[in-house]
Structure 1
Amino acid sequence: MKRTLPALLVGALLLTLDGAPPPAVAVPPVPGAAAQAAAAPRGPHRPHQGQQRAAHHGAPPRCSRSAGPYQQQVERHLRRVADGRQSAGDCKAIRGFQRAHHITPANGFAGRVTAAVVRLLRAQRNPNKAGRCPVRARRVACVDLSRQLMWVQRGRRVVLAPVAIRSGRSALGTRTGTYRVYLRVRNHTSTLYNTPMPFAQFFDRGEALHGVYGDIYESPGSHGCVNLQWMDAERLWDVLKKGDTVYVWGRRTGV
């Protein structure tokens, strides 16, 4: 059975660089209500990074002179010239975006967390614009592996706005297809990996939608499950029911 990696960092106290994470600092998981507070997203359903202390007694990080791997996507969202090259103006605009969305370090580097926030913001108005998720009378949990997003819709109405996810890593990718929620366990622990899986909703041979106590950006992927931030998983628990459809499509690439 596939399960997530053990969480090493807690909610909003994550020391993760946008693009090139340093070694994680292990801390014990936060149980119950404390975890909910620690993992609560800043603002409506968007990914977040915790505060990271800058070197030199709190001095702000230097503006990156390098273009990040998602430079063009971020430039396009910020209505800059999408040439994929970093300029002083680009860095200033990206830093402003990072500060507004609590992404640290706010150094203007267009890394994977910044790109994830851009994807999530762009999906808020009409996540199913491309029509990839089936429209049905019952609830459908739409899992888009390409954008690393999920939402729930009933008919054409979105009943749970898009949230960020972490799907399976390259060697253990989340399987695509149409499934149904067949088991729900509010406080589950993986017997294979001894890993907490809060708000687990199983849909395919051990693969589940579930929360994590750490940061969904801290690793290259799960063991096949669809990971959500703790708070998002709790909200999903209140929306989905046993027998609801889970539709998974796309392919995780470089996110």
Structure 2
Amino acid sequence: MAMYPAFFMSHGVPHLVTELNAFTKFLGYLGARLPRPKGIVLFSSQWTSSVQKVTGAPQLATLKDDWGLPEELSAFEYPAQGSIVLAHDVQRLLASDGMGCEIDDGRGLDYGGWTVLSLMYPAANIPVITASINPRSVPEDSYRIGKALNELRKNNYMIIGSGGTVRNLRKMNWSHGKAERWAVRFDRWLDEKIQIWDLESLYDYESRAPYAQDAVPGREHLLPLFVSMGACDGSRKAKLLHQQYHYGTLSLNCWMLS
């Protein structure tokens, strides 16, 4: 593998790690099949900040929001290894393109990270740093961040953007998994634009995509996609590896960018 691919994947809701479905099976298969990366930089939509931040702790605590978690999940732990060396590498690469980056030694791993990573790498034996998302930024800013981190892919590091293409928790129907029509229409539009790398349309998705406000009421959930795309700006190849829906308005998908 000449350069490690980048990924954009949905992290769903915390309960994902307790479920056995097509998506959780897919993530396990993906982690087993991919060559072992030297480390992982994961941009999580669950960590928002006005300035770019990355974790710097040697061990990342498993952070849990107040979701009314079931008993089996309240005791869940994913003992992810951190990497101050990787954090400094990210800081250096962003600085070389005129962007600031703060290292947060106290931040742990939120569920935007531990859902997908625990399913891909249950042994927790790959160094990980989490990076924040600025919800007030524009997609171009996230793309620029990813582009600056392209060198990491050359050195066998995996870049993951963790968020969601369709993620409307207020409209979720917990009793069924049939996708709402508007959710499918938004995803189809997005899929088409990603495949042809139509940045002009993607940057303006809030105005151009059908049902964008219903699909992504929180911009931070789609911005990680642009980080992963930016990291692959040189080759601009995209492949949708998996797509399904939960609760009608929650898309569970995974894109590989290379």
| TM-score for both structures, normalised by structure 1 | 0.31
| TM-score for both structures, normalised by structure 2 | 0.30
Higher Cα Rg, which structure: 1
Q: Which has the higher helix share?
A: 2
The structure showing larger relative contact order (alpha-carbon pairs under 8 Å, at least 6 residues apart) is 2
